[in-house]
Structure formats: C-alpha cells, structure tokens
A and B are shown apart, each in its own frame.
Chain A
Amino acid sequence: MFSALAPARTWVGARVFFEEELEMWVVYTLNALYFAALLFLTSLGLNIILGVMGILNLAHGSLYAIGAFMAAWTIIAIGMNVPTFFLFISLLSGFVLAGIVGFLMEKSLIRFMYKRTLEYQLLLTFGALLLLEDIIKMIWGGQAYYASAPFDLLGKVDILGHIYPIYFLFVMFITCLAGLFIWFFMGRTKLGIMLRAISLDREMATGLGLDIGRLSTFAFVLGSGLAGLAGALVVPTTPALLGIGMEPLILAFIVVVVGGLGSLKGALVGSLLVGFTRSFGIAIFPEIELPLLFLIAGIILVVKPEGLFGR
C-alpha cells in the first residue's frame, strides 16, 4: 500500500533537501571525499594493472579483502599495549600482505596469461577470485574481525559546527599521499616511465630492451598492494568480513570504465564522481542511489565509449 508513495517520496525528499538540509553540505561533501578516497586507492591499483599488463584483474576485490583481514588481525593481535603510533603503522601490514599475495599470483598464474586471449585472462582471474575468497576463509575463518582502535583513538573534530571523525580525514590524507606518490613515480622516475612505456605499446617496449617480465611483476605487486592498503584503511570503521571486497570491486570497475582504461586522472575523476553521486544520492534520492550510479556510468559510456580520459 505504501509502494505507490515511493516515487512521490523521492521528490518530496529532493524538495526537503534543498529547503532544509543544505546546511549539511559540508558533511555530505566530506563523506563524498572520504568514500572517493578509498575508492581511488582501489581503482588506482586496478588501473595500473590494466594499463601496464592489459589484464582486468577480477580478483582485485579479494586482495582488498586480504588487506582488510590482515590489518584487522594485526591490530587485534598487538592490542592496546603498544604506543598508538604502531597501530597506524600496523595498517601497512595490509599493503604488505596484499603485495606479497599479488607477487605470488603474478609469478604462479598471471605470467602465463600475457600471450593468451582475453577470455582466458578474465577467467583465470575469476578463478583466482574464487580461490582467494576461500583461502581467506581457511585462514581467518568466517567470523567478523572488529578492529576499531585506530578509529576510536583519533577521536572527533568540529568542522563548521559538525562533528566529524578525524580518522576519515586521516584516510583522505593517506590517499592524497599515495596519489601524489604514484603521480610522481609514474611521471618522474625512470621505473615509472618504463611502466608507462609498456602500457603505451608493449611490443615497442620489448624492442627498447625493457625487462617486461619484471616490470609487469612490479606493476602487479604495486596494484595489489594499493588494493590491500584500501582494505586496511577501511577496517577500523567496519568489521573485516568474508566478501568485503565485492562491492569495492564493482565500484572500481565503474570508476575505471568511466575514467578511462589505464588513466590515472580518470581514476581520480571517476572516484570523485562515484563518491559524490553516492553521498548526495543517499541524501536526496535514497531509493534509486545505486541504479543512478550505473545509469550515469552507462550514459558516459554511450556518449564517450573510451571513458572520460581514455585513449
């Protein structure tokens, strides 16, 4: 009986929003930036792998989950007995373990796929996704891991009359650092320029005498590590659970597709687009926030099939 009211309510929601809730825009924006930050890290990793190796890694979400579980486990294991500083360092454990898993994955599976056709590449990473999900279950069991110490310790801050957790600002800060680092690395260092050369033209890069095998391994480890870092950063705010990587993976797909395959700038703009759509979508059109996101992505793809910053 209330179903008929749902669309009407959406529009009422929009009206109420513009009349009464505009004062909350600060928080909505911060939320959007926070969500975009986590997504940016995930999609950056996916994008580096896609750009350099031409492989869409469907198991990327599992690497995110590994980062989350590892960080949660470390934080719980070291407990409250150490200086606070170490708690934040322990978040890096997610980056490290995901990097190691990425390394093993590349060495044992992915490297056989460079010369294979698309369907095999995708299916192999799909197999890796299934495998990793259950390996996580074997190691950490099916339980939820709560590790909110870093979130609780940082406390809250007053921003223009709104209370906001400092931890979210911390996540944005770390993401900015990581983003700047990758930008500098890709644009200024020799290793980064070599990676870009591969992503532009693999055959030519071979001709230039670059060690493609090693560079690919490096790119895969870096990309995996970034996913792990994103997982680690999220875990103080939400428990580490089986399947935690599925939603970020799908959103990262959207970011990569909308931003353009292999484009760092695209990953940034795409993440912001998703972050703002989500934050303001939930505030204004809570019923259709998710389809709205896919619809925007779909329209961009119809108009500009290669993505906003695609080649």
Chain B
Amino acid sequence: MGATAMTAGTFGTASKAIGQAKKPIPTTPVKIAAVSFLTGAAAAPFGIPGDNTYKMCADVINKEGGILGRKIDLQSKDEAGGVDAQVKLCRKLILEDKVDVVLGYISSASCLAVLPLSDELGGLIVAYDCGTHELMEGAKSPYEVPKFKLGFRSKAHLGIDNIGLALYIKKYYPKTKKVAGINPDYAWGRDSWLIFEVAMKKLMPQVEVVKTLWPPLGNTDYTAHISALMGAGPDIVHSSLWGGDAVTFSKQAIGMGFFKKIRMAYSRGEPYPQEVGKDYPEGQIICCAGTHYFLFSPKDKASADLQKWFVGEYHKRYGKYPTYPCYHAYQAIYAYKYAVEKATKAVGGWPTIDEIAKAMTGLTFPTPSGPLTIREDHNGIEDCLVGITKLTPKYPFPILDKMEVFSAAKVNPPVGTKTVDWINSWK
C-alpha cells in the first residue's frame, strides 16, 4: 500500500517536470469505462473474461504507477439490455459521468450504434471486441478515412476470420462441394456470412451454397435448424454463432448426430472447446479472431515473453486460460495507455481527446499476440490463426491442431478499400 503511494508520489513529481511546458498533468484518476456483457448468455464466455482482463491490466498499470502517474479508475458496465440501452448508457458515460475513454462492446450491434456517438458527443470510444467490417468502412471504395474522428477499434474486423476460414478450407478441404451457413440474425452474423460467401465464391467457385439460416441472437431451440441443415446435406457449415448460442447449438447438435455427417467452421469458435469441455467434437475448423490462442507463440522474442507472462498471470488470477476476448481487452486498454504517452510526448502535458485520437492513429505497440498497428482508418490489423480441434491427454478440452497463420496482409484489405471489393479484385 505504502509502496504504491510512494511510486505514485515519485511519478507525480516526474510528471510535474514534463508539465512545465503547457498543460499540467491532473492528479485525479483517469476515468475509464469498460463495457462488456456482465449478464446473459455472452457473460461467461466473453464478457467476464474481457472484464477480468481489464481489471487485471488496470491493476498492473496502477501498480506500475498508472498512466503518467494518474491512477486508472476502472468502471465496469454491463452491455446487456439491447442496442437502445447501450446508446443511452454511452451517452450517460460521456455527458454525465464525463469518463476519459469508453473501452468496450462485444456485440457488433452495440458498436454500430455506439461508435457514431464518439463524434456526436465528443468523447473517445475504443471498440474492443466487435467484428463487423461495416463499422469503419464507407459506402463504396475507395472510401474516406477515418470514418469517426474519435472512434477506434483496437483489433481487426471480421474479414480476417472469414477470409482465413475460406483460405483454410481451400488448403485442407479442397474437395468441398456444398456449404451452408447458420449465423445469428444481426450485423455480426449477416456480415460474417457475407464475407465468407464472397471469399468462397472467389477461391472455390465450384462450391454451392445449399442453405443459410438466421436464428435470432439468444435462441434456445436449435432442433429445427439442426435438422434443416442436415436435410440440406452440406460438407461444411459456416457459423459465427457465439456465446451461449454456440454452446447450446453444439450440445443439441451432438444429441442429433449432426457432427457425424457435417463439419463445422466457426469464425470465432476459440472459447467454446474450453467452455463445453471433453464433449466438444473433434475435427471442427476454428478461427481465433486473430492469433489469440494461449498455445500460440509469436515469432519475435518480446511478444513471446509478453504472451508467456499474460497467459501465466491470467491463469494465476482466474484459473482459466485467456480466450480471445482477453487479448482484445488487453489491446484496448494498452492502446489508450500508449496513445496517451505518445501524445504527451508530442504536446508536453496531458493531451486533449483530439490529441489522443491523433496519437492513436498509426500507433504500433506490443501485445501478447505480436505487435499491433492501428491504421489510419482507426481499425487494427492482425494476423489470423485457424486450426482443427483435437483431443489430447494434456488438456480437459480439445485443443487446436494443424494450426495455420495467415499474415495480416493476406486477410486485411488495404486502407480505404471495402472488404468485399478487395476480395473480388483478387487474381
């Protein structure tokens, strides 16, 4: 206790030295709002791990003296309640509570609704886990960047998952003839399928789409969907179901003998083997929303060390291995920290929101899955890891086998080009 107070004190004097230039660094804590699903089906596999990571990182940063001496005052908020509730909550956070930054949002629906508020209300918002490519893209390519002056996403969009899956299927299952899709009925599911379908048509034109199903988010009974898919007889079923939906679907599908005939390709299936356990079927194609996998080791030494520390620290605190939402949470909170530090260096003093936003554009910083760059379109770009589930005696759940990493350049469209147009322009 005393030690932390001391370090804070020393940093206080240090910051004064910098603050001589223009703006003194305030001594009040930095208010960070972290919004994730804390209740509902998405809480256990996404929201809680994400929120845990925010808490862990805030704790670690505070122990190291905070951001330029300012402690982080982390406020965890619940993302449940629907889009409209999120718009209202975000407005309250920015206008009434006057937080310094909002980090958050797992659902693409929340992001699409909330991120425009950044410019409308003049608050910094960093989306940390939502996937839709439409979030930062304009109506037609080339589009103007950035779309939002104060809105960011500290990760890559769903293009990497679905392009990665298509590339993987082409490489490992070139004989695939029929595919089908079951995706949640909102932006995330619709866009995931769109990109996957476009990529498949380009890569494997002979493949036929036999069925596309759109269960609502939070559906409880998948029997009708499962048998409809089995009736259509595809080789591979693409799915971006997530949270409780993915678990429920898997359980009911196991009961109906689904996996005996059909292979699933999950665009973000990484958390579920750990969530379902031993019963999780083998041989399913799974993408990790980047290279966020606890058994993955980045090539460069610094990142590899960071990964080792991150997995260890997380497992020590919460008794589980970090899943991809954890990595995303790490990226978001550290993107803010590094951007503030970079901006402070440039302006000499605590930066304004616009200066932080300027610093965050083009920022590159180390993360446990390798260095991450946030581009001029305010979107992160990442490599993508795809593998196949396989049971081993070492872990009580299937792990990934035949891991394949697709480099960022292969799965991310260039700045200003719409993902669909980019895929269609492939030779």
Contacts and interface: CB of A to CB of B under 8 A. Distances in A.
Nearest to B251: A148
B3 interface: no
Interface string B14-56: 0000000000000000000000001111011000000000000
A111 interface: no
Interface in A279-310: 279, 282-283, 286-287
B256 A287 contact: no
Given A21-B231, A286-B228, A142 B39 contact: yes
A144 B230 contact: no
Contacts of A247: 220
Given A13-B211, A144-B44, A156-B257, A282 B39 contact: no
Given A143-B39, A239-B248, A286-B212, A167 B255 contact: yes
Nearest to B48: A143
Contact of A168 (B218, B223, B244, B420): B223
Contacts of A17: 231
B80 interface: yes
Nearest to A248: B220
A69 interface: no
Contacts of A239: 41, 244, 247-248
A29 to B, nearest CB: 10
A237 B44 contact: no
B210 interface: yes
Contacts of B95: none
Task: Please classify how large the interface on chain A is, using the bins under 10, 10 to 19, 20 to 34, 35 or more.
Answer: 35 or more
B197 interface: yes
A28 interface: yes
Contacts of A162: 257
Contacts of A135: none
Contact of A144 (B214, B221, B244): B244
A35 B220 CA distance: 11
Given A16-B232, A238-B248, A239-B244, A31 B40 contact: no
Contacts of B214: 286-287
Interface string B60-87: 0000000000000000001010000000
Contact of B244 (A34, A35, A241): A241
Contacts, number: 117
A282 B213 contact: yes
A31 B227 contact: yes
Contacts of A31: 223-224, 227
B224 A283 contact: yes
Given A24-B230, A142-B43, A286-B214, A163 B225 contact: no
Contacts of A167: 255
Nearest to B223: A31
B252 interface: yes
B427 interface: no
B260 interface: yes
Interface string A237-260: 111011110010000000000000
Given A238-B248, A244-B220, A286-B212, A1 B230 contact: no
Given A1-B420, A279-B224, A237 B251 contact: yes
B194 interface: yes
B43 A278 contact: no
A1 B231 CA distance: 27
B227 A27 contact: yes
Contacts of A27: 227, 230-231, 256
Nearest to B42: A144
Given A9-B212, A156-B257, A144 B41 contact: yes
A268 to B, nearest CB: 19
A73 to B, nearest CB: 16
A278 B244 contact: no
Contacts of A152: 255, 279
B228 A241 contact: no
A165 interface: yes
B225 A144 contact: no
A234 B257 contact: no
Contact of B39 (A32, A35, A238, A242): A242
A286 B244 contact: no
A137 interface: yes
A20 B178 CA distance: 14
Nearest to B249: A238
A112 interface: no
Nearest to A238: B220
A241 B223 contact: no
A2 interface: yes
A243 B224 contact: no
Interface of A: 1-2, 9, 13, 16-17, 20-21, 23-24, 27-28, 31-32, 34-35, 38, 137, 141-144, 146, 148, 151-152, 156, 162-165, 167-168, 234, 237-239, 241-244, 247, 278-279, 282-283, 286-287
8 contacts: A20-B231, A32-B224, A142-B40, A143-B39, A144-B40, A164-B256, A165-B252, A282-B228
Given A241-B40, A286-B211, A286-B213, 15 more contacts: A24-B228, A27-B231, A28-B228, A34-B223, A35-B224, A142-B39, A144-B40, A163-B256, A165-B255, A238-B221, A239-B244, A241-B244, A243-B218, A279-B223, A282-B225
Top 8 A-B pairs, shortest CB-CB distance: A142-B39, A163-B257, A24-B231, A165-B255, A21-B231, A238-B220, A283-B228, A27-B227
